[in-house]
Chains A and B, each alone.
Chain A
Amino acid sequence: MRGILTIFRKEMEDHFSSTRFLIISAVIVMVGVIVTSMVGMAIQEELKGMVKPTLIFLLLFTSTGKLFSFVQFIGFFGPLIGIILGFDAINRERISRTLSKLVSQPIYRDSIINAKFLTGVTITAIILVAIILLISGLGIKLIGVVPGAEEVGRLLIYLIVTLLYISFWLGISILFSVIFKSTATSALASLAVWIFFSFFVGLGAGFVSDAIAPVNQTSAGVDAESIMRNVKVQRIISLFSPMTLYGDATGMILDPMRKTTSALVLMGPLERLSISRFQNPLPLVESLYITLPHIVSLAAITILCFGICYLVFMKQEVRAV
């Protein structure tokens, strides 16, 4: 514990005085403010002379406006935050030849990894809380609506899930910083994983599902049954992607009108209409219930990542060459 706290303290100081922390914060604040201002003003326009709809506050985060929503932005940029904070965690110490010194002090080896991970998570949490507060403040000013308890609750869950999601990427990048001796290599490897999950899992899922469960073309048109199967397979495969897990989970939490994590494609026009018009939003507890498997999966892959990290680092010979 002493080891973790000491390293944590030093790493936090390092981060706060680092340019990379400044840049990450600047990018997020910039995007957050711009997106919120645009979305906020659009909502303001539409709200004129109308009764306040339920959970409008969350629209600040989920509404895409002309660009993209803040939530979409974090879904995309979040992995990069994790990677930037972790890609050189261990190999930087190796290069500066401080690692052999560190491991020869009376601390458990895993406390080095744990402290670095904890630092990354804390930094991420600080950035996220700050930006959510900033957006909320801006939003209250722009649309003149104060968030209710449920909205705050949903945002809190969103925060936790996002933290988990970014922690996964932090875990991946720390793992690579243990495996690869060069910081450039570990950064590239992390980016490769990010690109793989961002683009190719979706694509690959399409290919695989077409192979396993092809859509049957009949003379009367397409077979609905086979489309269902095809989409199902595709979804299951893309659940292996942390992006999909995260997207589904936060979608459910912040957009309570959605009742399943399945794609809306499967619904007929009537159902879609009824969803948008006549249904009440899902209560918070039920949203949470539906997303729980996603959250657990995210946690599981993060822990898996860590397990590998320990295995590699514990037995690794640290030689100052």
Chain B
Amino acid sequence: MDEGKLVVEAKNLTKEYKGFKAVDNLTLEIKEGEIFGFLGPNGAGKTTTILMFLGLTEPTSGTVRICGFDPVKEPLDVKKIVGYLPENVGFYDDMNAAQNLRYVARLNGIPDEISEKRIEELLLEVGLAGDKNKKVGTFSKGMRQRLGIAETLIKEPKVVFLDEPTIGLDPEGTNQMLDMIKSLSTKKGIAVFLTSHLLDQVQRICDRVGIMYNGNLIGVGTIDELAKEKLGLGAEKFTLEEIYMKFFKQGE
């Protein structure tokens, strides 16, 4: 992991929904090229955090910078360099895989000559080369998820936010997906911010993880750091799941 520039810089970020704090005072930094796992149970505030990063919802207080841009004031600059895979991503089911990707490419102002080549490459990389001209409506859950990854990469982003990229996949599909994310991130030097509530699954590809609970970031660092420094445990003996349980007990 290089100690390069920061792609995400959040300070005291808070989002309230009618008095309820979905995200409470979040301060977090993501470095260039790293894979960051944002973990926590459902309702912890992971999606809300991503929405604030993208300028899709306004923070109640606090600031975020994405590669130096403010999502509230410069949303287009942010969206140019950020890929976002929403939870349970949707497609235009009556268009084929290539058409879906081309549409997103055009929305990013990428000329068809250029996107054509990228589409070929990306579909190959996510293992959908043979399904280029199939209607997305016929795709399985796993194929859709992989197409979603390809779609976030078409604009050649600096950072991608993947919201629950492994949700609904079987163990084999999950592992394939994670390997794919890891290799794409390494190959292209893209920072990945991925959320999950399945902790032991994603930990193996994450450089660092942050743990969310009830809107609060209760721990952040490498698995080792979290285990040793914060809890005094030997990392090799404990899974993330157990660290997590410990945190909850401490939090209560």
Check if B103 sits within 8 Å of A10, measured CB to CB: yes
- Tell me whether A102 and B107 are in contact in the complex, defined as CB-CB below 8 angstroms, given that A96-B93, A318-B56 are known contacts: yes
Contact present for B88 and A104 (CB under 8 Å):
no
Q: Is B109 close to A, CB under 8 A? A: yes
Cα distance, A319 to B92, chains bound together (Å): 18
Q: Is the CB of B109 within 8 A of A106?
A: yes
* Contact, CB under 8 Å: B51 / A319: yes
Beyond A105-B79, A106-B76, A317-B51, whether A6 also contacts B103 by CB under 8 A is yes
For B89, the chain A residues whose CB sits under 8 A away are: 97, 101, 320
Bound-complex Cα distance A7 to B106 (A) = 9
24 example contacts (A-B, Cβ-Cβ < 8 A) are as follows A3-B107, A6-B106, A10-B103, A96-B90, A97-B88, A97-B89, A100-B84, A101-B84, A101-B104, A103-B56, A104-B54, A104-B79, A104-B84, A104-B86, A105-B79, A106-B76, A106-B77, A106-B79, A106-B108, A317-B56, A319-B47, A320-B88, A320-B89, A320-B163
Give chain B nearest CB distance to A97 CB in angstroms.
3
A104 and B54 CA atoms in complex are apart in Å by 7
Looking at the assembled complex, report how far the CB atom of B6 sits from the nearest CB atom of chain A, in whole angstroms: 21
Q: How far is the CA of A321 from the CA of B163 in the complex (A)?
A: 11
Report chain B residues within 8 Å CB of A102.
107
Within 8 A of A (CB), among B12-41: none
Q: Using Cβ atoms and an 8 Å threshold, which residues of chain A touch B155? A: 106
Q: Which residues of B contact A108 (CB under 8 A)?
A: 76
Chain A residues with a Cβ under 8 A of chain B: 2-3, 6-7, 10, 96-98, 100-108, 315, 317-321
- Which among B77, B79, B92 is the interface contact of A98 at CB below 8 angstroms? B92
Give the interface size class of chain B: 20 to 34
A318 to chain B, nearest CB (A): 6
Bound: A317/B56 CA distance, A: 6
Please measure, in the bound complex, the distance between the C-alpha atom of A101 and the C-alpha atom of B90, giving whole angstroms: 8
Q: Which 6 A-B pairs have the closest CB atoms?
A: A97-B90, A320-B86, A106-B79, A105-B107, A104-B84, A100-B86
In the assembly, what is the distance between CA of A319 and CA of B87, in Å?
A: 9
Alpha-carbon separation in the docked complex, A3 to B80 (Å): 13
Residues of A within 8 A of B106 (CB): 2, 6
Q: How far is the CB of A3 from chain B (nearest CB, A)?
A: 6
Q: Which of B91-134 contact A (CB under 8 A)?
A: 91-93, 103-104, 106-109
Min distance, Cβ A25 to any Cβ of chain B, angstroms: 20
Identify the interface centre among A96, A105, A317: most chain B CB within 10 Å of its CB.
A105
A11 to nearest B CB, angstroms? 11
> CA of A319 to CA of B51 in the docked complex: distance in angstroms?
8
Q: How far is the CA of A319 from the CA of B46 in the complex (A)?
A: 12
Q: Is the CB of B88 within 8 A of A98?
A: no
B82 within 8 A of A: yes
A320 close to B108 (CB less than 8 A): no
